[in-house]
Structure 1
């Protein structure tokens, strides 16, 4: 489930792999979408945000995080929620632009859902209402049967899904 909420004057840039996924992110309300399969993420991000970025939410790590560091403006704020780029890879993260944290005084903070369990009731109330009212758009990739589970799991790491990956039992 995705909702892109924009503050007045805010530009939202999404990232996705492939034309269909990029079109979906644009349909959700993003102003620009970087297709990470079409070329280097840093180049795409710099084209989408020639003046830099102020806020970055990361689930990927790797070259996406590195590109955001390169594009970061003075006092940018980064929320790091995941690093799927390294979940199944034992090699260490390589960030060429990490030193920019110092000069641009970038604030980087980890973000994990368990920090917000106290607000879970509010989340379910608000999200349930938005879903019921049709304010949220979602896309699901559904595989049928337990035998499809390995394929669905691999698809999470290879771009084999659009939106939420599910296995119907």
Structure 2
């Protein structure tokens, strides 16, 4: 008999999540059937998307999210005992899964070589593919262009900036502390702006006197309004997220639509699973860039499954640099 722990969405979010929104429960895991496997969580992910997405789920649901888990028992030939899988199992320690059911199938992690398994939730997982496909497929950067990344010190933004450098662009990162800005410079960003202390518009003019060609937007709100005002004609904007208003009751963003018309900008939002048929392409390319020393990563690790809400809330308030991960 296996006893699983799980975090329940106990109270609907209103503003920034608090401890009252979560409840820790236990349950006995059923014996596996044919074509199923039992997996035990090793690393769990906390990501910004969880805040708005959970509003679609009823109170009492298990919190959503991805994890790296070890297969303990298996009656499925493609998921052998001892293998490590990446799956959207939610905030739970043990999961019985039939991988042949559902649209987003778990997958056995490829060989990361000397790199840690936790990267399967970051640069070698969903955030890495979000940066890889979301930037390259939508912005289509050209050598010599200027790229701005908001939320630049996060799991996705930090990778977008480095991929832009690999593609020969000048990169400007916007982040929320001087420490994060210094880290971004250490991994190759040409310029950084601390949005909490600087005049973003003035600093952006200095860093990009000829304007901005590509903008990878993780935050929305006032920052995006300012960047759009300095986009070049035929600029491209990839909209990954709007974290600035995730904890608001209603978004209060000035409409920048005139810039889209007069400058003939192209803006496109996306979900990374648009490219699910090419998923391993992104993982393999990002791993190759890591091994070549072209792509660097950072993880902010919270120890203990019991501390998942703390790690989640800390990530939403900017407490992480790079990917936020929970280690069981």
Of 136, 140, 145 in structure 1, the residue corresponding to residue 299 of structure 2 is: 140
RMSD: 1.8
Cα distance in 1, alignment partners of residues 280 and 172 from structure 2? 30
Distance 1:84 1:44, change over 3 A: same
Distance 1:162 1:68, change over 3 A: same
SS of 1:85's partner is helix
> When you count strand as a share of all residues, which structure comes out higher?
2
Of 259, 262, 285 in structure 2, the residue corresponding to residue 103 of structure 1 is: 262
SS of 1:153's partner is helix
SS of 2:192's partner is strand
The count of corresponding residues between Structure 1 and Structure 2 is: 168
Preserved CA contact (<8 Å) 1:42 1:66: no
SS of 1:74's partner is strand
Q: Which moved more, 1:38-47 or 1:57-66?
A: 38-47
Cα distance in 1, alignment partners of residues 266 and 189 from structure 2? 24
Q: Which moved more, 1:85-94 or 1:29-38?
A: 85-94
Preserved CA contact (<8 Å) 1:4 1:29: no
Of 110, 114, 119 in structure 1, the residue corresponding to residue 278 of structure 2 is: 119
Cα distance in 2, alignment partners of residues 97 and 24 from structure 1? 31
CA distances 1:105-155 after superposition (whole Å, capped 9, x unpaired) = 111111221111121121222223333444321111111112322221111
CA distances 1:39-91 after superposition (whole Å, capped 9, x unpaired) = 34333322321221011111111122111111111111111111111222121
Is 2:239 the counterpart of 1:80? Answer: yes
Q: Which moved more, 1:46-55 or 1:60-69?
A: 46-55
Of 68, 76, 89 in structure 1, the residue corresponding to residue 248 of structure 2 is: 89
> When you count helix as a share of all residues, which structure comes out higher?
1
Offset at residue 23 of structure 1 (A)? 0.8
Of 310, 315, 324 in structure 2, the residue corresponding to residue 151 of structure 1 is: 310
Of 224, 231, 235 in structure 2, the residue corresponding to residue 65 of structure 1 is: 224
Q: TM-score, normalised by structure 2?
A: 0.48
Where does the alignment leave 5 or more consecutive residues of structure 1 unmatched? none
Preserved CA contact (<8 Å) 2:300 2:324: yes
Distance 1:149 1:90, change over 3 A: same
Preserved CA contact (<8 Å) 1:60 1:83: yes
SS of 2:238's partner is strand
1:37 maps to 196
Q: TM-score, normalised by structure 1?
A: 0.89
